[in-house]
Amino acid sequence: MSKIYLVKIRRLLVNMFIGVHEHERHSKQRVAIDVELELDYPAEGFSKAIYKNVGCYETLVDKIKTFSKEGHVVLVETFADKIADIALDDERVISAAIHVEKLDIFSDCEAVGVTIKKSRNEISK
């Protein structure tokens, strides 16, 4: 049985063009992103594994921010799916769960959103 560990990004906030409605193409919205990545536990542990076998959340945060600025995204599902693909580009990542919420949409709820989960063995089939 192999050991795993989780890398988490909590409540990354971006302002972006997202949504199906015409007005959403012209006004940026606040979007919150949560990421949970499952990785294999480094065989040599963490004391010697810096940058070699440890997932880098800084790199992923930068890539998410860059993607959020690339233009209008129609669906939060599309945005979450792309983030999962970006995360799985790192071969150390076994699976990715991406939760994306649009904030400030309805006055009577905090947020609306989706969660996309993907794993490496699903994409290698």
> Per-residue pLDDT averaged across 42-52, rounded?
66
pLDDT-based confidence at 46, cuts 50/70/90? confident
- Structure-model confidence comparison of residues 41 and 116, the more confident one: 116
Report pLDDT for 56. 74
CB-hemisphere CA count at 13 Å for 37?
26
Spatial distance between the Cα atoms of 90 and 94, rounded to a whole number of angstroms: 9
Residue 54 has pLDDT above 70, yes or no: no
> Per-residue pLDDT averaged across 41-49, rounded?
70
- When the pLDDT of each residue in the chain is averaged and rounded to a whole number, the result is 89
Contacts of 34 (CB under 8 A, 6+ apart): 8, 9, 10, 11, 12, 98, 99
Q: For 86-119, what is each residue's pLDDT tens digit? A: 999 988 899 999 999 999 999 999 999 999 999 9
Residue 120 has pLDDT above 70, yes or no: yes
Residue 49 has pLDDT above 60, yes or no: no
Q: Of 40-44, 45-49, 75-79, 121-125, which has the strongest mean pLDDT?
A: 75-79
